[in-house]
Amino acid sequence: MRYHRFFLLFFIIFNSSSFHAISFPWEEPKSLAILGSPFLDVILDTSKEFIESCGLKVGESQPIASHEIKRIFLLYKESSSINCIFTRKEPLSLTEEQLANLGISSLRNGQQYGYLEYTEYGPAFNELDQIRLRLRCPGQRETICYSIKGVQESMQRSMELLLGNTGYLLVDGELFLCDCAIENFLNKAKKMGNKILLDLINSAVALQFRERIWSCLSYIDVLFLSENSIQELTGLPYVLQGKQFLSRIVPSIFIQSPSQVHVAQHGEEIVYNTPNNSQEIVLNFLFSYINTHADIGVNSSICLIES
């Protein structure tokens, strides 16, 4: 019956053009911990020769010393006139404003980076352990380098926060890019009684870490996928086949395509056409899922665990 309530609530929210959550002061808030990338990403468009000259393995994800991150960045600035891009990857591209529109408050830990600080002239390079370089060149898989110290410290803080925040946990699949024993974290989180949601929309992650991801699927309650990532993860040529196969393992599947969203839960499925509002449906899904898998209220609190 619970999943019937989920589909009903999801349908009501989806068809409401001005939906906002209503909170009641006597209700205990629910919580969703979001385990995202601990890094500020610096994207560098360059050549294969430059990557090799830096002593990096082209197309691989690799930990290096923090002073090497700065050295590579300065070499890039000397040899290229192309501006680098500073960004922070958020699971499911969630923003504080979007969550607030559903009555969901967000509590972030770690240093906050404003838009104007996403430059080499801001404070970013004062914290080299929080920087990840993503070097891109034509015809090659992205080359990634990061500080292992930054990953270890982030995972330790995340575990400490998780101990006091049992409920719902949204994990960014890109953490598989960082050799940070995410499997152990998921195992402990599941044993603590968390519902675990995994963002695996990035097809490159699904392909590169397929075996590791498969070893974790028994911990996952909701799997967010794209058409490409479900094909890479299952090795099946058709999305329908992949969805049916994964549905036997993961209770809830959320698949995004350019024009549609498929939501499969406990053998039932709904399909929505989404020409322009796929992110809105992601938010609606989260709200519906949390409020039909908990015993209380509609007021939710979000804890973002990032650094």
Report whether pLDDT(30) > 70. Answer: no
Residue 211 inside a domain? The answer is yes
Instruction: Report the CATH number that the domain containing residue 282 is assigned in CATH.
Output: 3.40.1190.20
Whole-model pTM: value is: 0.78
Residue 50 inside a domain? The answer is no
Least confident of 13-22, 58-67, 100-109, 112-121: 112-121
Residue 253 inside a domain? The answer is yes
Q: Is the pLDDT higher at 231 or at 160?
A: 231
**Where residue 91 falls among pLDDT bands split at 50, 70, 90?**
confident
Residue 70 inside a domain? The answer is no
Number of domain units in the chain: 1
Residue 100 inside a domain? The answer is yes
Percent of the chain with pLDDT over 90: 27
Residue 121 inside a domain? The answer is no
Report whether pLDDT(107) > 60. Answer: no
Highest mean predicted confidence (pLDDT) among 7-21, 168-182, 237-251: 237-251
* Residues of the domain holding 172: 2-38+90-113+147-305
Residue 140 inside a domain? The answer is no
Residue 129 inside a domain? The answer is no
Residues 261-299: pLDDT tens digits?
888 887 788 888 866 677 788 888 888 887 776 543 333
* H, E, C per residue of the chain: CHHHHHHHHHHHHHCCCCCCCCCCCCCCCEEEEEECCCCEEEEEECCHHHHHHCCCCCCCEEECCHHHHHHHHHHHHHHCCCCCEEECCCHHHCCHHHHHHCCEEEEECCCCCCHHHCCCCCHHHHCHHHEEEEEECCCCCCEEEECHHHHHHHHHHHHHHHHCCCCEEEEEHHHHHCCCCHHHHHHHHHHCCCEEEEEECCHHHHHHCHHHHHHHHHHCCEEEEEHHHHHHHHCCCCHHHHHHHHCCCCCEEEEECCCEEEEEECCEEEEEECCCCHHHHHHHHHHHHHHHCCCCCCCEEEEEECC
